[in-house]
């Protein structure tokens, strides 16, 4: 488990951006990812009749559509206690096995940092 105060400032930034997206849009989840150049992509849950995407998958899609070649980190703000496998796969597709995914509560507290390599928490 990783506490919020232990995060690198750039990781704290993406948690804050994800939290803001969730609150601003009134959606169940907010997410942000940072690419290899330091650019960030922020998204909320997409729920349309013809399209449903988690916030994290939306943020990854935005990064890809903008030309990102890899991901350095991801953050999700949600009330859920775990990430669906599809979210981790999306990060894995653009990241690498060590890309951290910070899972945070709506108040911004990171309660777990995962990698795409396996189900165990990332080393802090």
The pLDDT tens digits of the residues spanning 83-118 come to 999 999 999 999 988 999 999 999 999 999 998 876
Residue 123 vs residue 116, higher pLDDT: 116
Specify the pTM.
0.89
Strands of 110-115's sheet, edge to edge?
A: 40-44, 30-35, 71-77, 100-104, 110-115
**What percent of the chain lies above the pLDDT cut of 90?**
84
Mean pLDDT, rounded, for 3-23: 89
Residue 118 vs residue 29, higher pLDDT: 29
Across 85-108, b (16+ Cβ under 10 Å) vs e yields eebbebbbebbeeebbbbbbeeee
Residues 36 and 82: their CA atoms lie apart, in Å, by 25
């Amino acid at each position: 488990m990783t506490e919020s105060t232990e995060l690198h400032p750039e990781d704290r930034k993406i948690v804050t951006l994800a939290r803001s997206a969730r609150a601003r849009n009134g959606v169940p989840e907010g997410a942000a990812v940072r690419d290899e150049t330091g650019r960030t992509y922020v998204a909320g849950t997409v729920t349309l009749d013809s399209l449903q995407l988690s916030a994290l998958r939306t943020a990854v899609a935005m990064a890809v559509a903008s030309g990102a070649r890899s991901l350095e980190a991801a953050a999700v703000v949600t009330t859920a206690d775990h990430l669906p496998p599809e979210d981790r796969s999306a990060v894995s597709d653009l990241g690498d096995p060590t890309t951290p995914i910070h899972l945070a509560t709506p108040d911004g507290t990171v309660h777990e940092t995962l990698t795409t390599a396996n189900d165990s928490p990332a080393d802090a």
